[in-house]
Amino acid sequence: MKFDTVRLTAVTAVSVTALSALAATACGSDKNVGEATSGSSGTLAAHVGCGGKNDLTAEGSTAQQNAIALFNQVWGQRCPGKNVSYNPTGSGAGREQFIAGHVDFAGSDSPLVSQQIQPAVNRCNGNPAWDLPLVFGPIALAYNLPGVNRLVVNADALAKIFTGEITRWKDPALTALNPGTVLPDTKITPIYRSDSSGTTDNFQKYLAAAAPQSWIKGVGTEFQGGAGEGAQKSAGVVQAVQATPGAIGYVEKGFAEQAGLPFAQIDDGSGPAPLTDETARKAIDAAKFAGQGNDLVLDLDSLYATKEAGAYPLVLATYEIVCSKGYDSSTAAAVKSFLTVAANDGQAGLSQAGYVPLPDSFKRRLLAAVNALQ
């Protein structure tokens, strides 16, 4: 689930603006870090101070690099002198470095896998590691259909498009989803990532969860559909869609927005849902957790196969992997402080950088886990 280095460059100007706004907000606040903060549905966090060491280290997912930069800026403003050094080497490397004890926490597109759980316990001095979903980014279905300003698709149609079963935009399955819209009798060119990609993995997991009868190709970071044209990286997908009338491709929202490409709405049974912060948050809010307690591994089927009205389900989740206990006291205090700021004040600039701010109820559950860290 990576947004790629290209994406990070693409949103740099946005991030700088967001960082400035966040810094101004932080400087204007006289609350203690983590002081109880109320949203529309009540108190979100208990007090957590600025104790602990000044410098944290982390490594992993490129998808969350810009989010971590935003969070770090706010943390430094709220707790002067505090800083996270984040190395965006990829999720697998981040998990390995965390398990080896080389970094304080990992950023990862997926939780620890089964064979990593006991080594993580050993790294945490006999205590479990927790997977905390903190950063979410939506995937847009960008398309090139001149004159079609509103397009609705569903998982079943997408599965058939990306396997070559549906080949023209005027197919009855698509016209039924788009009453009142004249779809051209144009060839469909699906555009997929030709490089290994977490975005591809999550797109295929969405198809497998929401259209299991039509998507039997499997999942993984390599595209399995067998139809269409491949493009390298997210920027390549955008360029291919722009250059190809009739094309549709899956790409991070920030890339599609920057390129000015329209993107489709999704209707998986409860009516069309456009891709907005609100509809993505609604899907996140409907997601369930796979486990018990404070290891907040998400049940991706509950996210991708949601029938919640007004929910846009195609959303990437990335985790912070931390020790539940077993840190020295200085590291534990700093990790709690950083994560509390990230889940509270740090949410303000995420939308500008292509991410989805956390819904309040999800934030409360996340903060309960953060507050339980020892």
Residues making up the binding site for phosphate: 61-63, 91, 109, 197-199
**In 29-138, which residue ranges form alpha helices assigned H by DSSP?**
65-78, 91-99, 114-123
Contact partners, residue 83, CB within 8 Å, separation at least 6: 54, 55, 56, 72, 75, 76
Contact partners, residue 172, CB within 8 Å, separation at least 6: none
- Report residue 150 as tokens: 């509103």
DSSP state of 23: H
Residue 263 pairs with which residues in a beta bridge? 142
- Please enumerate, by residue number, every residue annotated as part of a binding site: 61-63, 91, 109, 197-199
Residues 335, 235: Cα–Cα separation, whole Å: 34
- Report residue 170 as tokens: 């005027």
Residues 48, 132: Cα–Cα separation, whole Å: 18
Say how many C-beta atoms besides its own lie within 10 A of residue 258's C-beta.
17
Q: Select from 73, 129, 68 the least CA-distant residue to 99.
A: 129
126, with CB counted inside 10 A (0-12, 13-18, 19+), is exposed
Strands (E) in 78-150, as ranges, are 83-87, 105-108, 129-143
**In 149-259, which residue ranges form alpha helices assigned H by DSSP?**
155-161, 172-177, 198-210, 233-243, 253-259
- The full length of the chain comes to 374
Residue whose pair of structure tokens reads 């920030």 in the numeric block: 254
